[in-house]
Amino acid sequence: MLRDGCWRVGARLCFLRAGVRAAAESGRRALVSCIDPSMGLNEEQKEFQKVAFDFAAREMAPHMAEWDQKELFPVDMMRKAAQLGFGGVYTRTDVGGSGLSRLDASVIFEALATGCTSTTAYISIHNMCAWMIDAFGSEEQRHRFCPPLCAMEKFASYCLTEPGSGSDAASLLTSAKRQGDHYVLNGTKAFISGGGEADTYVVMCRTGGPGPKGISCVVVEKGAPGLSFGKKEKKMGWNSQPTRAVIFEDCAVPVANRIGAEGQGFLIAMQGLNGGRVNIASCSLGAAHASVILARDHLKIRKQFGVPLANNQICNQALQMHGGYGYLKDYVVQQYVRDTRVHQILEGSNEVMCMLVSRSLLQE
């Protein structure tokens, strides 16, 4: 499924690029036909997509700028999204999820991102956390943690990155020492989406020796003694979701909250990221789709030298197409640019993603 998802993301990117080229070449050509978002989908997927597009246009897009400017975490909107099944898109149905495929999720996140890329990216991370518990947790853990996550009564954060370990995640230092029926955690996680607002933290910590085999996965619940948070980071984009350090100081967590076996945490973390990377790519495509439409509409109206800009050869970037207007916060396109820039870093930097793609090709 991951490979199918990657193929789809790549294919859709080609369609988007074709659409942008079309806009540059001629204002008379129908750009929408080049980026038809339903291309290649079955009838059921088209329905998912329509629901997501409609929700994005109605509940997200009108508030996107306000959430960004005021740095609001739109809890009520996300709970409405959960009522449509978007809180646990690929989590199993017996614990409240929608039970859809990764490809279905890609369609949904792409459509939602046209309304607000930043918020959709957080929803995708939340979905990743719910899936990790669903896929690797015990039956008791699945039924305890997943239903409130799928309903977005509770929100989740993924805690892997540390101040000294980003792409080299296997070098993480946050320790978890077992004492009876608890682990005692010490360490700091950095750049955590939802940090401080989330209720459920899926944490990778070191229960054993150095390297990936010494890492385990535990769920830390908000309110646990010894759990605290750093200041809310000021960011270029992604302002509708808070980012904070998550700090553990002799934080006691029940052994019953460990997901999988000791030493299985790095595998769980990477399996989560495999899907998360497709999710984030889908969010990027949704932002690109919205930006191209904005550029198309702007080019039809804006005139230079007595003719519409759409009649001129121009740069293939949507913000560039807007000229100086694209740099103004009055124009939505600049927010899509800011909110997608971080997608080249998180869930695996561009350089790491190139390495993963080449590794996959060499295994063929």
Provide the annotated active-site residues: 347
Best CA proximity match to 21, nearest among 308, 286, 302, 318: 318
The dihedrals phi and psi of 107, each to the nearest 5 degrees, come to -60, -45
Output the six-digit token pair for 158: 């993924």
Give rounded-to-5 percent helix, strand, coil for the chain.
55, 15, 30
Calpha distance 140→154 (Å, rounded): 18
| DSSP per-residue string spanning 151-176 | TTSS-EEEE--BTTBSS-GGG---EE
**Which SS3 state, helix, strand or coil, does residue 187 take?**
strand
Quickly tell me which residue has 């350090």 as its tokens: 245
Quickly tell me which residue has 């947790």 as its tokens: 137
| Neighbouring residues of 284: CB distance < 8 A, sequence distance ≥ 6 | 113, 117, 340, 343
Calpha distance 217→39 (Å, rounded): 39
| Neighbouring residues of 363: CB distance < 8 A, sequence distance ≥ 6 | none
In the chain the first and final C-alpha atoms are separated, in Å, by: 16
- Please provide the size of the chain in residues: 364
Output the six-digit token pair for 255: 């052994």
Output the six-digit token pair for 313: 């050869």
Calpha distance 95→99 (Å, rounded): 10
**Which SS3 state, helix, strand or coil, does residue 271 take?**
helix
